Amino acid sequence: MNLATNGRPSAVRAERMPEPSAMQRLYFLVRSAFRWILCGAYFFVVCPFLVLLGIFIDPRKNDRPQRMLCRHVMWLAGARIEVRRAARFDPQRTSFFIANYVNLFDPFLLYSAIPQFVRGWELESHFRIPAYGWMMKRFGNVPVPDVIKAPDLKRLWKLTRAALEGGVSLVIFPEGGRTRDGRVGAFKDGVFRIAQQLGYPVVPVSIVGAFEFNRKGSWMLRPGKIVVYLHDTIETKGMHKDEVEALRERVHRIASQPVEEHRVRDSSRSLP
């Protein structure tokens, strides 16, 4: 804390980075375009090969090359990944991994960081995207209806249970959309209710640094470090339905804390 001569705290002035020049902006644009092309070319060349392998080989026995695909995509995009595990994180437990949602690279990032076989909830409309949707279906992601009605919720519940009983952990983004300001938005109840009903543990996950790397509404890529926090595994077995709200708030608090600490620490910095 800065102390003025009268002993009172003085105002701390945030020193902002200078605005980039026109040449620097052009460089950032060209660099981002080049990295997007590299990532897209690599993904759409290697991914069909992995899908083909999945026809003949159990995907869980084919996990290593899939994980390498994700790591290479992140590397080509310019991201350096650091993973920090909490003391009571259990990598052996089939779990729900509950993460904040930042950008389109999050699934690749989490597949690179989580040390077990994982799949994820994905909007059903994404399965209709040419090439990509077919690949995600073959990889075993669980479709989530864009508008959930009672019959759809029952189908989601059954597909989720089948995946977990098969030893497949699931990555969930309970905000329902990517952040626009870097903060962690409110979590929806759905996954927490299902976790309570099925009795599978949840793991809060914090993605820190990804908002600076790439944000919704922009295709700019800013190479840098992204830290993934895998927090303590939280049991839900024997939990009463009345405890779901408290569970949701607890997971949100844990997942958002490193994100908010990072935002405060870097609040004086401006992005190009």
In this structure, is residue 236 part of a structural domain?
yes
In this structure, is residue 50 part of a structural domain?
no
Spell out where the chain has E strands: 79-85, 96-99, 118-123, 142-144, 169-172, 202-208, 224-230
- Across residues 153-159, what is the average pLDDT? 88
In this structure, is residue 31 part of a structural domain?
no
Write down the pLDDT at residue 4: 36
In this structure, is residue 272 part of a structural domain?
no
Higher pLDDT, 8 or 221: 221
Output the six-digit token pair for 258: 């490193």
Write down the pLDDT at residue 22: 83
52 has pLDDT over 90: no
Q: 255-267 pLDDT, tens per residue?
A: 999 999 998 887 6
In this structure, is residue 53 part of a structural domain?
no
In this structure, is residue 97 part of a structural domain?
yes
Share of the chain above pLDDT 70, in %: 90
In this structure, is residue 167 part of a structural domain?
yes
Q: Tally the residues of the chain.
A: 272
Structural domain harbouring 220: 79-265
**How many structural domains is the chain composed of?**
1
pLDDT band (50, 70, 90) for residue 16: low
In this structure, is residue 48 part of a structural domain?
no
269 has pLDDT over 60: no
Q: 88-109 pLDDT, tens per residue?
A: 999 999 999 999 999 999 999 9
Residue matched to tokens 């793991």: 203
131 has pLDDT over 70: no
Write down the pLDDT at residue 8: 41
Q: 158-210 pLDDT, tens per residue?
A: 999 999 999 999 999 999 889 999 999 999 999 999 999 999 999 999 999 99
CA 85 to chain centroid, in Å, comes to 15
Share of the chain above pLDDT 90, in %: 61
Averaged pLDDT score across all residues of the chain: 87
Residues 6+ apart with CB under 8 A from 103: 178, 210, 211, 213, 214, 215, 216
Query: Number of C-alpha atoms within 13 angstroms, CB side, residue 50?
Result: 26
Rounded to whole angstroms, how far apart are CA atoms 153 and 263?
Answer: 36
